[in-house]
Amino acid sequence: MKYMMLIKHTEDYRGKPIPQGLIDAMDGFIGEYAKQGKFLDGAGLKSSHKGKRIQLHGGRLRVVDGPFTETKELIGGYAIADLESDAEALDMATKFMELHRTHWPEFEGECELRPFETGAPGSE
């Protein structure tokens, strides 16, 4: 089953240098899952200064340019993995956040883990 991991943090982490230890650890982490054919895609996202939101309210579309300073947390990156079970997905996401805790102790954020829909939308 495919899963998406979304790393979330406040906007003020954008522009802060990522510790080299975390970069090196992530390279190994991703490399191991990629070698097993389980890591499908992932990337960090640029600051919300480069983003746009297309909102739909009352039947009308509105484009809002970033930065999204009123937002408490933003998606800073994502990963897509093809894993055997919810337990394996939880293990991967926990290890991912453990790398942050170990190599960037002052980092505060979260990893949201969600399985992809496989049946009709809204089905379990």
Taking the model in full, what pTM does it have? 0.86
Rounded Cα gap, residues 57 and 30, in angstroms:
39
Residue-wise pLDDT for 96-107, tens only, equals 999 999 999 999
Residue with more model confidence, 123 or 34: 34
Domain boundaries, the chain: 2-115
Decide: 2 and 116 in contact? Cβ < 8 Å. Answer: yes
Rounded Cα gap, residues 51 and 109, in angstroms:
20
pLDDT of residue 122: 66
Q: How far is CA 94 from CA 54, 89, 113, in A?
A: 32, 9, 10
AA identity, residue 49:
H
AA identity, residue 97:
M
Rounded Cα gap, residues 48 and 50, in angstroms:
5
Which of 45, 51, 47 has its CA nearest to residue 64? 51
* CATH number for the segment(s) 2-115: 3.30.70.1060
* Residue 112 confidence class, pLDDT cut points 50, 70, 90: very high
Which of 87, 59, 78 has its CA nearest to residue 1? 87
HSE of 12, CA atoms in CB hemisphere, 13 A: 6
pLDDT of residue 71: 73
